[in-house]
């Protein structure tokens, strides 16, 4: 058993819905209800997919609180609480705990590129100040620097560092962490869910789960049940969606476009993010149609 086994399965990195430039809290509640109905393990508001960099501090906190309120204990909430400022990350993590979130998703400090000791001290400060399970979100493609596996092994000595959202794309790195710790490793890339579970990861923090949560849940359950052929079938079924969510444009531009096409969101983004161009949207529409989500 891993340290936060209760988060195994599908956690959904939910979007922050906007309407006329403002956060649409009614739509946010509908998103949570959609995931509850699907049987997801957890929702993760105000992460990368939730456009956290463009939210004000007040909006960020209000979205966390709204997600917790909408969940009403029926689904776990892992609130995005990261920052490149340790003080700000501490404030957000404290807010998540106060609001009643079940865990905090804390991205590696970005832009200022700390040393490995800096990464360790950052997460240690949060872990010692707040009694809330913390998921270390390692995504060097966005933050500019990798949290090396040796540093994560050190962090595992802190009791409430319990999870890693693994978005390095490296099976070697994930294998080293899984072999050396009892941390719950969750894939941070949809297309890597099955490969990472094959070496011991316990699920995924998913983008495509916003639109097809039941298929992602089915993949995780099939693998856990030893039904590897079925897990592979679902992996290859999901793969075109996973590919488009990352290759057509930066996340969350494609997933917001997909949700708009499916009638589940306005598709609004905040600058500096801009919508898909016509050719990209045509490609996305084709993928959604081929998946069977609507007629071409």
Distance, in Å, from the CA atom of 208 to the CA atom of 192, rounded to the nearest integer, reads 12
Average pLDDT over residues 216-239: 98
| pLDDT over threshold 70, residue 43 | yes
Alpha-carbon distances, residue 138 vs 74, 88, 143, 173, 188 (angstroms)? 28, 18, 8, 11, 8
38: in domain: yes
2-23: pLDDT as tens digits: 999 999 999 999 999 999 999 9
Total-model pTM? 0.96
Catalytic positions: 137, 165
Q: Binning pLDDT at 50, 70 and 90, where does residue 295 land?
A: low
Residue 255 domain-assigned (yes or no) = no
In-domain check, residue 42: yes
Torsion of CA 40, 184, 159, 35, to 10 degrees: -10
Does residue 152 fall inside a structural domain? yes
pLDDT (0 to 100) of residue 121: 98
CA angle (197 as vertex; 288, 81 as ends), nearest 5: 75
The answer to whether position 178 is within a domain reads: yes
Please write the tens of the pLDDT for every residue from 122-174: 999 999 999 999 999 999 999 999 999 999 999 999 999 999 999 999 999 99
Q: Is residue 155 part of a domain?
A: yes
Task: With respect to residue 15, please indicate whether it lies within any of the assigned structural domains.
Answer: yes
Per-residue pLDDT reduced to its tens digit, 54-80: 999 999 999 999 999 999 999 999 999
Residue 98 has pLDDT above 80, yes or no: yes
Residue of 50, 55, 38 lying closest to 256 (CA atoms) = 50
Residue 130: inside a domain: yes
Q: What is the pLDDT of residue 294?
A: 78
Total domains in the chain come to: 1
pLDDT at 261 (0 to 100) = 97
pLDDT over 80 (residue 178): yes
pLDDT above 90 covers a percentage of the chain that reads 99
- Return the structure tokens found at 290: 């081929």
Q: What is the CATH number of the domain that holds 179?
A: 3.20.20.70
Give the pLDDT confidence of 255-282 residue by residue, as tens digits. 999 999 999 999 999 999 999 999 999 9
Half-sphere exposure of 99 (CA within 13 A, CB side): 29
For residue 135, the enclosing domain spans: 5-227
pLDDT mean across residues, the chain:
97
């Amino acid at each position: 058993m891993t340290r936060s086994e209760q988060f195994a399965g599908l956690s959904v990195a939910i979007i922050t819905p906007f309407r006329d430039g403002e956060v649409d809290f009614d739509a946010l509640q509908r998103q949570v209800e959609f995931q509850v109905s699907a049987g997801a393990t957890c929702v993760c508001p105000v992460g990368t997919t939730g456009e956290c960099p463009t939210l004000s501090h007040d909006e960020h906190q209000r979205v966390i609180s709204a997600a917790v309120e909408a969940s009403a204990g029926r689904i776990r909430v892992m609130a995005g609480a990261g920052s490149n400022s340790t003080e700000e990350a501490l404030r957000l993590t404290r807010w998540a705990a106060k609001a009643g979130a079940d865990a905090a998703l804390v991205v590696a400090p970005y832009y200022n590129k700390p040393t490995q000791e800096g990464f360790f001290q950052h997460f240690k400060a949060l872990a010692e100040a707040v009694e809330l399970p913390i998921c270390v979100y390692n995504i060097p493609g966005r933050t500019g620097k990798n949290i090396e596996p040796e540093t994560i092994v050190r962090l595992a000595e802190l009791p409430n560092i319990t999870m890693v959202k693994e978005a390095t794309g490296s099976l070697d790195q994930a294998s080293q962490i899984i072999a050396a710790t009892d941390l719950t490793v969750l894939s941070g890339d949809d297309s890597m869910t099955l490969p990472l579970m094959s070496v011991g990861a316990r699920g995924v923090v998913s983008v495509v789960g916003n639109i097809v949560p039941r298929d992602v849940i089915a993949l995780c359950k099939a693998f856990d049940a030893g039904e590897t052929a079925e897990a592979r079938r679902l992996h290859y079924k999901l793969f075109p969606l996973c590919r488009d969510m990352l290759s057509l444009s930066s996340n969350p531009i494609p997933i917001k476009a997909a949700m708009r096409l499916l009638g589940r969101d306005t598709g609004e983004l905040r600058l500096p993010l801009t919508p898909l161009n016509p050719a990209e949207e045509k490609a996305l529409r084709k993928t959604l149609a081929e998946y069977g989500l609507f007629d071409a």
